[in-house]
């Protein structure tokens, strides 16, 4: 039994949980620009080249992006460029 209120101090960053709403996926890719982002892991190019070629065969516009290194987050300028120029993005996450 305790008399005083028992207080603990919050060890977290106290960020209100920001649940970002996802953009609804487009019903059709017709006329859209697809970003294809490599995170610079070994052999991801082989997979992404194949994906990009398949998309282009469907007449879609493809823009390629490549992170300088997979060990760090993508540079802010690259993220902004994707947001500005693409409607959807495919990210090659792992080996």
Partner 1 sequence: MAQIEYIAFVKRDCETCKMVAAVLGALKQDVQVTIYSQDDPTFPESTGGAKDDTALEQSWRHNITIVPTVIQLTDSTETSRTEGWERADWERLCGPLREASALPEFRPGCGSRSTEPGMPERLSLRYGGLNLAARAIEVVEDADPMEVAFERGWTDGLPIVPPTDLRVARMLAGTTRRPDEIIGEIPPNLSTCTVEKAAINAVMAGCKPEYFPVVLGVIEAALRPEFSMHGLLCTLWFSGPVVIVNGPVTRRIGMNSGGNALGQGNRANATIGRALQLVIRNVGGGIPGEIDRSVLGNPGKYTFCFAEDESDPNWTPLNVARGAAPGSSSATLFHGDGVQGIQSWSARTPEELCRSLAASLWGVCHPKLAGWSGAILVLCPEHYEMFRAEGWRRTDVEAGLHTALRRPGKDLIAGAQGIAEGIDPARADEMVDKFNDGYLLIVRAGGRGGGISAAIGGWTGHRKTADVQIVTQEIKQ
Residue 87 burial (CB count, 10 A): 15
Q: Does 8 sit near partner 1 (CB under 8 A)?
A: yes
DSSP 52-95: HHHHHHTT-EEEEEE-S-TTSPPPHHHHHHHHHH-SEEEEE---
Residues in 15-44 that interact with partner 1 by CB under 8 A: 15
From residue 60 to residue 89, what is the string marking binding to partner 1 with x (rule CB under 8 A)?
---------xxxxx----------------
Residue ranges that bind partner 1, judged by CB under 8 A: 1-2, 5-15, 69-73, 94
């Amino acid at each position: 039994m305790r008399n005083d209120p028992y207080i603990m101090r919050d060890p977290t960053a106290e960020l209100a949980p920001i649940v970002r709403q996802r953009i609804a996926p487009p019903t059709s890719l017709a006329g859209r620009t697809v970003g294809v982002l490599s995170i610079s892991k070994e052999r991801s190019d082989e997979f992404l080249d194949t994906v990009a070629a398949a998309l282009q065969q469907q007449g879609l516009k493809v823009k390629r992006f490549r992170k300088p290194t997979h060990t760090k987050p993508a540079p802010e300028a690259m993220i902004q460029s994707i947001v500005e120029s693409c409607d959807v993005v495919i990210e090659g996450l792992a080996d």
